[in-house]
A and B are shown apart, each in its own frame.
Chain A
């Protein structure tokens, strides 16, 4: 297939499936809490709605930085799709993209001048300190598979079996990271409802649309990376089933767990990261 067409198709799939999975999460959470909940396509509709709404810009915003940060967030997740499903390139590059996404969260919040955004920005700095060590799970994958190339990791698993069974602690660490990125998770301190919508509070219209597209693609990509590097070569239906199952598990945890305060959230994530890295290294050495 033509490379450009392949990229466009994969970005569309990532956005569409990501949006539906986020909608599914909200539906499952609502049913667990005894509410009817929004339709599964609600997140998708919301995203499209923002593209036809009027865009307003706060007069206190840091221009053009306030606008550029939304475009940057969108571009880096498109880059993640190119590096992931399209070319099966470097896993380290996806790590880099994830860290830049944290910077996007931080500055989307602070660039508006809103106190809610600012609070979300400070929390993003805290959460980066916890989530980046969790993403360091990739080191364990490298120590086991001997490569950071996604296609080589898939080949390794087709010969030696899924990494999920050989480095389970690393898989748990990555799952905690996925949980952290879901909207209503106990670790979602940057978007806690105590600070309205966190870093998204002061972004309206088109800019909010781009933020929501990035969110959907990010969710799809995190699930894709988990399934690819821990379960190996999978068929398309297996990917879909895997993503639905992971989203349902995350929704169940979110529905029954309150949001933690920032300090507890960070300490819990760091503890998971420490136990995961140290435990995995010990398991690899035995």
Chain B
């Protein structure tokens, strides 16, 4: 049987017990992009940030220490794999868990640096991410309560949208927005990018944007058009 999601045909599914991964051209592209970036991050060195020295004509080099580098690289790889998983999962609860994991490792990636401003912003982002986990899981629970399933494929075959599904979707979106630190929560997160370690910062940005794109797909599947 040919199953299509938002006009794209499903290329294949990977059933892992209750959790089913599915792939359309859209999911496959995002999954591949997340994996390629993760691989590049895993093999890359960090840049040396050059800043003007105060009170003299010299330059100051800011580098990432080896111990810090190893720790941040490990977390960046975990973040990349979690992002790739979130791109293809067909289980709503599984998706929320991936999003939570991404929020935690994002804080860890910048938590290892020794710049006070960056740590401050990571702390504020951490608070928002923790608060956002409530609407995230409540949203998924309400969708489960309203539809009787957390399988995105099963929800795709429903022909109706109830007000409770819409309310659950709004909470889910708020949760994802807080966890990934996008607008209107981006102000704290942008400051985190001032630290050196470009490849690791990439994965923070990449995970946020890809998760937002994926959640839009999920919300469009749950909420049918007018």
Contact = CB atoms under 8 A, between A and B. Distances in A.
Interface of A: 59-66, 68, 72, 76, 79, 83, 89-90, 92-93, 95-97, 99-100, 102-103, 106-107, 110-115, 118, 121-122, 125-126, 128-130, 132-133, 136, 139, 142-149, 152, 270, 284-285
A23 B50 CA distance: 34
A152 B182 CA distance: 31
9 contacts: A60-B61, A63-B44, A64-B40, A92-B8, A96-B30, A100-B210, A107-B202, A143-B225, A148-B8
Interface stretch (B98-106, B124-132, B142-150, B187-195): B187-195
Contacts of B51: 115
Interface in B198-226: 198-199, 201-202, 205-206, 209-210, 212-213, 216-217, 220, 225-226
Q: Is the interface of A mostly helix, strand, loop or mixed?
A: helix
Q: Is the interface of B mostly helix, strand, loop or mixed?
A: helix
A115 B50 contact: yes
Given A63-B44, A79-B29, A93-B26, A139 B216 contact: yes
Interface of B: 6-8, 24-26, 29-30, 33, 36-37, 40-41, 43-52, 61, 182-184, 186, 189-190, 193-194, 196, 198-199, 201-202, 205-206, 209-210, 212-213, 216-217, 220, 225-226
B29 A62 contact: no
Given A107-B198, A147-B6, A133 B183 contact: yes
Contacts of A61: 47
B46 A62 contact: yes
A43 B30 CA distance: 31
A238 to B, nearest CB: 24
A110 B47 contact: yes
Given A92-B6, A95-B216, A102-B209, A125 B49 contact: no
Given A93-B29, A126-B190, A142 B213 contact: no
Given A79-B29, A89-B8, A63 B45 contact: yes
B186 A60 contact: no
Given A62-B199, A129-B183, A96 B29 contact: yes
Contacts of B189: 125
A89 B226 CA distance: 22
A139 B51 CA distance: 43
A-B pairs, top 7 by smallest CB distance, nearest first, are: A149-B7, A65-B44, A129-B186, A62-B47, A110-B198, A113-B47, A60-B48
A144 B190 CA distance: 34
A65 B29 CA distance: 20
A97 B29 CA distance: 9
Given A122-B194, A125-B190, A142 B47 contact: no
